[in-house]
Structure 1
Amino acid sequence: MKWSLTLGRVAGIKILVHWTFVLLLGWVAFREAQRGSDLNTTLLAMGFVLAVFFCVVLHELGHSLTAQRFGINTKTITLLPIGGVASLERMPEKPRKELLIAIAGPAVNVVIALILWLLLPSLQNVPEEEFFVQITPANFLYLLLFVNVVLVLFNAIPAFPMDGGRVLRALLAFKLGRVRATQIAANLGQLLAIGFVFVGFLYNPFLILIGAFVFFGAYSENILVQHLDYLRGHSVREGMMTNFVTLNPTDTVRDALNKLLMGSEHEFIVEEEGQVVGTLTRSQLIQAVKEEQMETPVAHIMSGEFTAFNVQDKLSEAYTELQKTKAPLYPVLENGKLAGVINTDNINEFIMIKSALTH
């Protein structure tokens, strides 16, 4: 994710913090200043936020490390002001695996809360308001226990993208299949989201933000699963384009611009005698024009590092990869030679055709 700072790695997973997280710490400091808190109290409040997000990282690691056991890698865990996001390569289609991955995160918070509950003495005769108004050394760990319980309950909401939505989908999928289970879980999630928005207008505007997050998360998950179902059983060969324009490494920037203007291509595969040597995007061309490199061979400005698909690869896996990387174009090879190209637009057209044929 752009504008993120790397904190370190755990089991090969990069831990990032987004720059907007600083805004959260700044808001905490501002609130304490409004209350007239001294420096020690302000630092304690900021330390509490950091402790909560440490628990969030452990929560996401619960998901990620469980996924690793099933051969699913996690590239990053990113901390945002609203929580943490683990970028799993994919979710498993087998319900049992998805169930275990989904419950692993909240299970970590349950363990943290249980440990704190066992270690801390019981509270007696503590006024409820005083307990929650300000963080102090006396209530720091008690509030951390409370937050972990809230994280478990919040994630138990049966709505995507919360863990509860994935648990519900996994349980339904045992009997109904993944597509139907996703539809039911997504519809329930959207219904709950509308409820959040309604209550938010009456009581707490923050619930409106949560409602919107849940609504679009459920919608996106439902669409993605439907699309993958349409692609199931099809190969990249069926979804690739065979009518496309290529460049030779010796072609100049001027030659490439002429081909850009003559057709609808915005990206090009650079190949020589069927061997792909690179890719060239419109933005790279425009940058070369700005730098007055009109007669420069495209080999000097192209991207030499690229990923290619094989004609026999699964179309669903190509779609997932394109969604994940946002790459504009991938070459498709057959016996090591260029046979076609594939992009998200072409796969979406394939999906539309499949959808029309099945209705």
Structure 2
Amino acid sequence: MASLRLLFWAAVAAAVHELGHVAAVKALGGRVASLRLTGVGAVIRPQRPRLFSYWEECLVALAGPAASFLLALGAAAWGRHFGGGDAYLLAGVSLAFGVFNLLPVGPLDGGRILRALTNRWAGPDAGEKVCGGLTKVLALSLAALGLWVLRQSGNFTLLLCAAWLLWRKEGKP
């Protein structure tokens, strides 16, 4: 039963995170053309009359973690004032979503920010090279740590994360 509660609050946290991105796209004058759920998250494809600037791309990417952090604060405040383990569970899950998505790798929000800023300062395509290299280093580090964890506890979650980072298409979850 506890795992179903965790799954439910994780889905709520993920939805709020993605709604943060949608709100930012709309605030910048864009529209959402499609929203596709995948096994590791959601992919939002904006429909834009013009391309976002590098700074606007950063704002859209930051909006998801910002929404996650705001939800975590709100849920923690709710739990503090009214009690309830579910509020703290939601706060923790939402905080984890926000922090994880700021990692500067691959298709995560931190990777989008890194690509946009690197492209802005070093020219087009520089961000893909930098982010791609950093993603490979992190994925291989996760794989090594995952092998150690697997031997210690039998948990293979880090190996799955490493595989996802290594075998995904650049820029696509």
TM above 0.5: yes
Q: For residue 16 of structure 2, what is the aligned residue in structure 1?
A: 58
Of the candidates 138, 148, 156, which is equivalent to residue 202 of structure 1?
148
Q: How far 1:92 sits from its partner (Å)?
A: 4.2
Shift of the 104–172 alpha-carbon distance from structure 1 to 2, 3 Å rule, reads same
Q: How does 1:172-187 map to 2 (within 5 A)?
A: 172-187=118-133
Matched, 1:220 2:170: yes
| Structure 2 alignment gaps of length 5 or more | 150-154
- Cα distance in 2, alignment partners of residues 47 and 81 from structure 1: 19
Given candidates 44, 68, 89, the residue that maps to 1:143 is 89
| Aligned mate of 2:116, from 154, 164, 170 | 170
Give deviations 1:136-173, integer Å, cap 9, x for gaps: x9421111111111111111111011111111122222
Q: Deviation of residue 202 (structure 1)? A: 1.7
CA distance in 1, matches of 2:70, 2:85: 19
Instruction: Give the superposition deviation at 1:81.
Output: 4.6
Amino acid at match of 1:118: A
Q: What letter matches 2:134 in structure 1?
A: L
* AA of the residue aligned to 1:173: N
Instruction: Provide the identity percentage.
Output: 27
Q: Give distance in 2, aligned partners of 1:216 and 1:54.
A: 28
Q: Distance in 1 between matches of 2:146 and 2:132?
A: 21
- Give 1:89 deviation, angstroms: 4.8
Larger fraction in helix: 2
- Cα deviations across residues 36-75 of structure 1 (Å, max 9, x unaligned)? xxxxxx3x64244223212211211211232234444323
Q: Distance in 2 between matches of 1:89 and 1:212?
A: 31
Residue 197 of structure 1 and its aligned partner are, at CA, apart by 1.6
- The separation in 1 between residues aligned to 2:51 and 2:17, in whole angstroms, is 19
Residues in 1 aligned to 2:38 and 2:8: alpha-carbon distance in whole angstroms: 12
Deviation, structure 1 residue 198: 1.6
- 2:152 aligns to what? none
Distance 1:156 1:110 in 2: 11
Paired residue type of 1:94:
S
Task: Kindly report the root-mean-square deviation, in angstroms, between the aligned alpha carbons of the 2 structures.
Answer: 2.7
Match of 1:110 in 2: 69
Say which one has the larger Rg: 1
Report the 3-state secondary structure (helix = DSSP H, G, I; strand = E; otherwise coil) of the residue aligned with 2:115: helix
Give the TM-score normalised by structure 1. Answer: 0.41
**Secondary structure of the corresponding residue to residue 125 of structure 2:** helix
CA–CA distance in structure 2, aligned partners of residues 220 and 81 of structure 1: 17
Q: SS in structure 2 opposite 1:64?
A: helix
Question: 2:58 matched to which residue of 1?
Answer: 99
Measure the CA separation in 2 of the matches of 1:113 and 1:154: 14
1:86 alignment counterpart: 44
Secondary structure of the structure 2 residue equivalent to 1:184: helix
CA distance in 1, matches of 2:130, 2:3: 41
Of structures 1 and 2, the one scoring higher in RCO (CA 8 A, sep 6+) is 2
In structure 2, do the counterparts of structure 1 residues 116 and 168 end up closer, same or farther at CA, with 3 Å as the change threshold?
same
Q: What letter matches 1:115 in structure 2? A: G
Larger proportion of strand: 1
Given that 1:93 and 1:178 are in contact with CA atoms closer than 8 Å, whether structure 2 keeps it comes out as: no
TM-score, length basis structure 2: 0.80
